[in-house]
Amino acid sequence: MIKLPCADCTIAERLKLLNASTFAFIIVLVVSNYGQLLSLEKKIITLQQFQGFVEDVLELRRYEKDFLLDVGTNNIEMIHKYLARITVTVERLDSQLKKLSSPEDYRTFIEAMQHYRICMKSSERGSIVSGECLHRYGRIMVEYATAVLEKKKAGLEINLKTILYTFTIVPAALVVLMIWGLFSQTRSVLNRIAFVQKATQDILRGDFTPIQDTTSTRDEIHGLIQSFNKMAMELDTKTHELIQAEKLAAIGTFSSGIAHELNNPLNNISLSADMLLEDLDLLSRDEIKEILQDILVQTDRAGAIVRNLLDFSRDKEAQVQEIGVRDLIKRTIKLIENELRLNHIHIDTWIPDNLPRILGDFQKLQQVFLNLFVNAIQAMPDGGLIYIDARYEEPGYVRIDVSDTGEGIPQDMIKKIFDPFFTTKEVGAGTGLGLSIIYGIVQKHGGYIEVSSKLKQGTTFSIYLPAVGRKEDETEA
């Protein structure tokens, strides 16, 4: 990943820095290319001069040939004219000619020009001009001029390739670099957003674990993660408070049954105490002992009711443990035994002997089934049946069905029943949070819920919880 110099920069600042760097690079590239084009223009002009130099030498040789063949009338004048032009060109291009040729070749060329000129002057004095002399020195001049022109062309070709590469490869490399930089920055942002997305999905499953931002970057995403973590902590606290409030609401729902259940042992204690006071002198020691024993039994009975209620309502830290389904269901039913009797509801269970245990928080899972039982009771105001059926299902789940013979739920409402604050009850009869909390608790335990219902026939809630693999050594309920 491209490391930008500002670790604490925001995403906007990073993009601005990346754009500014790209713009600066483009400016440098444009200035560089402009300079290369100017240099190329000068080299093309120089090449034209070299081309003219070669053409002058060739023209010189043409007039030399005409002179030797005695063709034409002004051959000598034209030879002197082109010799003068060649001399001017050599003086103008002196430094470049020396760079393009070795000192020996350059000196040989200069000497050839001088000898060529001497040969032509001797002809003006009436001397017989040797064709071999002109031909030999003329050939040296042509070979030299042609050689330096080819070298000049080769150098210009290299320059053209360099400019071509600059105009194609460098911009392409710049585009690749920009794409890489944007991709690197985008990938970093998207990866961290993916953590937030995953954490959001975890929250839907009831997991409020904060996101650990391992990067040292302090940008908008870091701020988002910090805000998200704060929200997750607040949601965790509020969810915990909601669960506790729902417990108390459930207790309030069957408080009349609890009062009636407590009243029975208290009445028995009261009657036994009155009998003991009135007939103390008439009762034998064994009869007194029997009455006191009955008082102790009824006291234990009332204490058990209170303990069960306190165990359920107390706000405890989550304790994950292996739980036997039969024990879980049995202890939950114990909380609403009298409520069931008062509402003329019979409860029946079928839990196999070899059913695997489940792993979870006993208190929270107890609340799941207590809420389902309370909903079933409220769905059967004229009495009915609650049937609990537990079984093992692949892949590795314990399925617990809670069925009732109530009014049922309309099909268009089934998809909404786990939404917070959605309720089919009358105003004031419920908050609509019970099933939403059940859904969250089950998901947090790695399970899921299915619902099936038929109007006038009843509803079945199927709770799927992961099995731990160890079988229960309990008898059938």
Count of domains for the chain: 2
Question: What integer pLDDT is reported at residue 425 of this predicted model?
Answer: 52
Question: How many Cβ atoms sit within 10 Å of the Cβ of residue 242?
Answer: 18
- Residue 37 CA, chain-centre distance (Å), reads 47
Which of 158, 191, 224 delimits the end of a domain? 191
- In 3-state terms, what secondary structure has residue 84? helix
Which of 191, 213, 244 terminates a domain? The answer is: 191
Within this chain, do residues 26 and 175 fall inside the same structural domain, yes or no?
yes
| Residue 69, domain member (yes or no) | yes
**Would the pLDDT of 6 be above 60?**
no
Q: Are both 187 and 327 inside the same structural domain? A: no
Most confident of 67-71, 276-280, 338-342, 367-371: 367-371
pLDDT above 90: percentage of residues in the chain: 15
Per-residue pLDDT reduced to its tens digit, 402-458:
999 998 888 888 877 776 555 555 434 443 446 777 888 888 888 999 999 998 899
Place of tokens 């200069």: 110
Last residue of a domain, one of 191, 220, 247: 191
Identify the helix (H) or strand (E) that includes residue 356: strand 356-361
Any domain includes 93: yes
Give the containing element (helix H, strand E) for 331: helix 325-335
The winner for highest mean pLDDT among 49-58, 213-222, 254-263 is 49-58
Q: Quick one: average pLDDT of 33-43?
A: 78
Is residue 243 included in any domain, yes or no?
Answer: no
Q: Tens digits of per-residue pLDDT, 184-201?
A: 777 777 777 776 777 777
Cβ atoms 185, 14 nearer than 8 A: yes
Residues 264, 270: Cα–Cα separation, whole Å: 10
Q: How far is CA 109 from CA 97, 112, 123, 241, 286, in A?
A: 10, 5, 22, 105, 151
In a domain, 417, yes or no: yes
**Is the CB of residue 262 less than 8 Å from the CB of residue 298?**
no
Element of type H or E holding 436: helix 434-444
Same domain, 23 and 164: yes
Cβ-contact 87, 113 below 8 angstroms: yes
Question: Under a CB-based contact definition with an 8 Å cutoff, are residues 390 and 355 in contact?
Answer: yes
Tens of pLDDT along 108-159? 999 988 888 888 877 655 555 567 888 888 899 999 999 998 988 888 888 7
Residue 29 has pLDDT above 90, yes or no: no
pLDDT tens digits, one per residue of 303-337: 766 765 665 555 556 678 899 999 999 988 988 88
Q: What percent of the chain has pLDDT over 70?
A: 75
Rounded to whole angstroms, the Cα distance separating 370 from 312 reads 10
Could you tell me which residue, 343 or 275, shows the higher pLDDT? Answer: 343
Output DSSP code: residue 382: T
* Better-scored residue on pLDDT, 351 or 290: 351
Task: Give the residue numbers spanning the domain of 432.
Answer: 322-477
- Look up the CATH number of the domain holding residue 466: 3.30.565.10
The amino acid present at 24, given as its one-letter code, is A
What tokens does 311 get?
């165990």
Say if residues 463 and 402 touch (Cβ distance below 8 Å). Answer: yes
**Quick check: is 300 in a domain?**
no
Question: Residue 289: inside a domain, yes or no?
Answer: no
Considering only CA atoms, which of 181, 185, 173 is closest in space to residue 217?
185
pLDDT at 67: 81
- CB neighbourhood size of 441 (10 A): 22
| Spatial distance between the Cα atoms of 404 and 456, rounded to a whole number of angstroms | 11
144 located within any domain: yes
Tally Cβ neighbours within 10 Å of residue 444.
18
Q: What is the pLDDT of residue 477?
A: 41
pLDDT at 87 over 80: yes
Average pLDDT value for the chain: 78
The type of residue at 343 is: N
Alpha helices in 125-219 (DSSP H): 131-204
pLDDT of residue 351: 93
Find the helix or strand (DSSP H, E) in which 400 lies.
strand 397-404
- At residue 470, the pLDDT reads 45
Q: How far, in Å, CA of 270 to CA of 72, rounded?
A: 158
Handedness of CA 210, 214, 220, 221 (dihedral sign): negative
The answer, yes or no, to whether the previous bond of 395 is cis (omega within 30 of 0) is: yes
Residue 242's pLDDT band, with cuts at 50, 70 and 90, is low
Band the pLDDT of 472: cuts 50, 70, 90: very low
Is 41 among the domain residues?
Answer: yes
